[in-house]
Amino acid sequence: NLDPDNQSSLNRNVLLGCHKLDLPYSMDEFGIYDVDQFRSVNSTTFSMNVFGKKWRVREATRFECPENLKDPFTCPMFLLAPDCQPGQSPVEMFNKVAVPVIYSLGII
């Protein structure tokens, strides 16, 4: 999971990862692979409380929610990884949780 632009750790896992504050969001983190769509929603991220936890979300692109349907109740919001705590790596929780679980399932 290295970012090809600067070889930094790139998080693609929303639930077990985090986003480093000093790096801009990537198209991989947004799950958008069209440059124009990515640019249109790159500035639409905000924090939202979901089940008592603070999450980062982004708005839908024009292809995910057409203009004629665009209102806050019908368009989806997409979860992004939360911001990393100081000293935390974007893939740290994934390595602590998912890797041992996958390894132990392989033994069984």
Task: Give the model's pLDDT for residue 9.
Answer: 54
Nearest to 78 by CA among 93, 90, 61: 61
Task: Give the model's pLDDT for residue 2.
Answer: 47
- Cβ-in-10-Å burial (0-12, 13-18, 19+) of 17 comes to buried
Which two structure tokens, joined as six digits, stand for 53? 């936890």
pTM of the model: 0.64
Taking 60 as the threshold, does the pLDDT of residue 5 lie above it?
A: no
Q: Is the dihedral of CA 60, 66, 71, 75 positive or negative?
A: negative
Over the stretch 49-105, which tens digit does the pLDDT of each residue have?
Answer: 878 878 788 888 888 887 776 666 778 888 888 888 888 777 777 777 777 888 888
Q: Which amino acid is at 54?
A: K
